Structure 1
Amino acid sequence: MLIDISTLLDQVGNTWGPLAFEFTSPGPIVFQVGSWTVRWYGLLIASAVMLGVLLSQLLAKLRGINPDLVGDAAIWLVVGAIPLARLYYVLFEWQAYASHPQDIIAIWKGGIAIHGAILGGMLAALIFCRLQKLSFWQLADVVAPSLILGQAIGRWGNFFNSEAFGSPTDLPWKLFIPEAQRPRGYQEIAYYHPTFLYESLWNLMVFGLLLALFFRGLKGKPQLQPGTLFLVYMVTYSAGRVWIEGLRTDSLMLGPLRIAQVVSLTAILIGIAGLAWLYVWRRRLPDVVATQAE
């Protein structure tokens, strides 16, 4: 474990006793008709994708990019993101899936990794941009706000599945976890940090920041270089993920290290280096095609 702030949060929460509010999941299923089941996890992901496509197309139009191209790119992004998000998760949880291989494709039960999704989406976007002769960084900038908004929505799927929660706590905003979903050794403990809520709120703040930068950039205050919004997304989302991951009991691990923290710290360094490249050294980021400004 790199970072653990649960003790600090508990100390803060002790002063908020009168504001106590318990989160309790109603379960993963929205409704069921015969053998047809609609689950919150899938419904939230589908809603996030649809809303993200509409928002990205609007932002693309404002940036002078063909919104139809962004709609086409969305298909590529989903096709690239979801399989790799699942593969990423399964590989780091292989011990659990090795004895139940039929669950590997059961994505509706939860278990996807956002870092895998981002990697898969980036690879798909690079191929798409190369084929369409579109700047990767310009596309990334109009997709970044939609991506973080989708993450804010998608985190609530963890709430309905009673997964991806934090360590035990008595905070006023504690999350009740059914006994069957509790980690090994924690069967007698009912309440945990609602890390899904922490990350969802953090992501909404990042979303607000990206939109503010986007619309100020349209006015040239400041003059944003291609790739800026995506790099800011990398730094700000990852900064939140580092400390939130330190609260979780079910992190994907590589030896003693939490994979998400390692990847997030790496993303922060890359993002800061990229922003310095743009605004300190005043150079453009390598791209698959020349940007319009060039």
Structure 2
Amino acid sequence: MITAAIPSPTTSVWHVLGLPVRAYALCIVLGIVAALYILEYRMRSRGVARWASLDIAVWAVPFGIVGARIYHLITSPQDYFGAGGDPIRAFYIWEGGLGIWGAVIGGALGAYIGCRQLGLPFALVADSLAVGLPVAQGIGRLGNWFNNELYGKVTTLPWGLEVHDMDRSNPGHATVIDGQAVTLPDLYHPTFLYELIWDLGVALLVWLADRKFKFGRGRAFALYVMAYTAGRAWIEMLRVDEANHFFGVRLNVFTAIVLFLLALIYFLVVRGPRAYVVPDDAPETLPEPAAGSDVSQVDVTGDGEQPARAPKGYQVVSHHRFEEYRKTGILPPETPQDMAEEIAAGGHPLEPADPAGPAGVGEAVLATGAAAGTGPDGSSGGDVDVETQRKNDER
């Protein structure tokens, strides 16, 4: 005898002033808002100007929606093309059918375009988004609950999900007989809930790990991909909705495994500290005081707030220089150690012939020291090094 179950809504569409308001769309919008709020907070803590997240969202959100739909059409073409298909329904995104893999790829492309326009390092934005994105995914899964879709196999667990038979002639509403909404005969695994909980756990994991290790160069985003795909693989195997299979296994399971391995390789191979940015035109010296005045015009309140005016571009700086700039409004001189950290964080685009090249922090310090005329042992190079080099060349 079943004594407990998770109920499902009987309605997922409401009409306001004659216009349909869909729960699925509301959940997606709420997820986007939550992700943008978290993205904004994390980007500001790295030096990005206020509301730059909105400039990126203008590109990332539509690209993500289009990418999500394209992925769904590629992996489930039978519903739209070929015998019995209805091609025009490919544009009916309100009916569902958005693939998260396509959303991430499309959104990343849009975010990259936005970063290029703002002059921001793409990896900085990706790492900043790594906490908000799983939160958005978790909120979005509530839309599947309203739609009574994407549930799992039959279960007798006390958290089994009641699923309604949705009326195909009245989309967004359960079939009603004798005034009662019709439910399917069994209870099912609430895979939407499993993924919601998993997504929030992923967000917490990435936030805690990034707070401790201060990931850079996109490694926080790689950690998100690994954590999310690990959960998506086992949750996907519980689902019973129609899907294309490969060797008897749902295609999305293979996708999750491949993306997990790629993210793992990236996480292990790519190294570098967290990137911090300041405006390209950040002042490096105190401005000259106005004539007849002995009051500095530089704000040194140290409140850490970013200027209201968005800069035309950004430069990557070390954590030390970033903190000094936030306190004083003046960017301190760059030391070899600062430059080494900035190169490792993805700053200082180098020419192919630059001796630092792809070197790590230690090699970069030596390279910058040599360029400044200082040998590896700390002694001055000067004319002795030039003469030695001339003699070597003659040999």
How far 1:138 moved relative to its partner?
A: 0.5
Farther off after superposition, 263-272 or 240-249:
263-272
Q: Residue in 2 aligned with 1:270? A: 262
1:192 is aligned to 2:188:
yes
Structure-2 change in CA distance of 1:223 and 1:108 (3 Å): closer
Match of 1:225 among 216, 224, 227: 216
1:76 is aligned to 2:52:
no
How far 1:272 moved relative to its partner?
A: 1.2
Structure-2 change in CA distance of 1:204 and 1:274 (3 Å): same
CA distance in structure 2 between the aligned counterparts of 1:264 and 1:77, rounded to whole angstroms: 22
Q: Residue in 1 aligned with 2:238? A: 247
Q: Residue in 2 aligned with 1:7? A: none
How far 1:189 moved relative to its partner?
A: 4.0
Q: Residue in 2 aligned with 1:5? A: none
Q: How does 1:10-159 map to 2 (within 5 A)?
A: 20-29=4-13, 31-98=14-81, 99-159=85-145
How far 1:94 moved relative to its partner?
A: 1.6
How far 1:291 moved relative to its partner?
A: 5.2
SS state of the match for residue 20, structure 2?
strand
Specify the structure having the higher radius of gyration (Cα).
Answer: 2
After superposition, the C-alpha distances for 1:141-167 in whole angstroms (9 at most, x for unaligned) are: 111211110000000100000111111
How many percent identity over aligned positions? 33
SS state of the match for residue 24, structure 1?
coil
Q: Residue in 1 aligned with 2:159? A: 173
CA distance in structure 2 between the aligned counterparts of 1:247 and 1:39, rounded to whole angstroms: 26
Kept in 1: contact 2:134–2:203 (CA 8 A): yes
After superposition, the C-alpha distances for 1:15-44 in whole angstroms (9 at most, x for unaligned) are: xx87x3333223212x31353111110111
Look up the equivalent residue of 1:260 and give its one-letter code: N
How far 1:229 moved relative to its partner?
A: 1.1
Give the RMSD, CA atoms, in angstroms: 2.6
Which segments of structure 1 move beyond 4 Å, counting only runs of 4 or more? 289-292
Look up the equivalent residue of 1:82 and give its one-letter code: I
CA distance in structure 2 between the aligned counterparts of 1:85 and 1:148, rounded to whole angstroms: 15
Kept in 2: contact 1:245–1:251 (CA 8 A): no
CA distance in structure 2 between the aligned counterparts of 1:290 and 1:260, rounded to whole angstroms: 39
CA distance in structure 2 between the aligned counterparts of 1:75 and 1:44, rounded to whole angstroms: 19
SS state of the match for residue 21, structure 2?
strand
Structure-2 change in CA distance of 1:273 and 1:44 (3 Å): same
CA distance in structure 2 between the aligned counterparts of 1:206 and 1:181, rounded to whole angstroms: 35
TM-score (normalised: structure 2): 0.61
How far 1:97 moved relative to its partner?
A: 1.9
Farther off after superposition, 46-55 or 249-258:
249-258
CA distance in structure 1 between the aligned counterparts of 2:108 and 2:316, rounded to whole angstroms: 18
CA distance in structure 2 between the aligned counterparts of 1:276 and 1:270, rounded to whole angstroms: 10
CA distance in structure 2 between the aligned counterparts of 1:273 and 1:159, rounded to whole angstroms: 35
**Relative contact order (C-alpha < 8 Å, sep 6+): which is higher?**
1
CA distance in structure 2 between the aligned counterparts of 1:40 and 1:166, rounded to whole angstroms: 21
Kept in 1: contact 2:225–2:259 (CA 8 A): yes
CA distance in structure 2 between the aligned counterparts of 1:25 and 1:33, rounded to whole angstroms: 18
Structure (1/2) with the larger helix percentage: 1
Structure-2 change in CA distance of 1:109 and 1:227 (3 Å): same
CA distance in structure 1 between the aligned counterparts of 2:214 and 2:147, rounded to whole angstroms: 43
SS state of the match for residue 48, structure 1?
helix
CA distance in structure 2 between the aligned counterparts of 1:240 and 1:61, rounded to whole angstroms: 30
Kept in 2: contact 1:251–1:260 (CA 8 A): no
Look up the equivalent residue of 1:141 and give its one-letter code: D
Look up the equivalent residue of 1:122 and give its one-letter code: A
Look up the equivalent residue of 1:164 and give its one-letter code: L
CA distance in structure 2 between the aligned counterparts of 1:114 and 1:223, rounded to whole angstroms: 27
SS state of the match for residue 169, structure 1?
coil
Look up the equivalent residue of 2:9 and give its one-letter code: S
How far 1:190 moved relative to its partner?
A: 3.0
Structure-2 change in CA distance of 1:80 and 1:174 (3 Å): same
How far 1:209 moved relative to its partner?
A: 1.3
Kept in 2: contact 1:22–1:176 (CA 8 A): yes
Q: Unpaired runs of 5+ in structure 1?
A: 1-13
Look up the equivalent residue of 2:16 and give its one-letter code: V
Look up the equivalent residue of 1:96 and give its one-letter code: D
Kept in 2: contact 1:80–1:123 (CA 8 A): yes
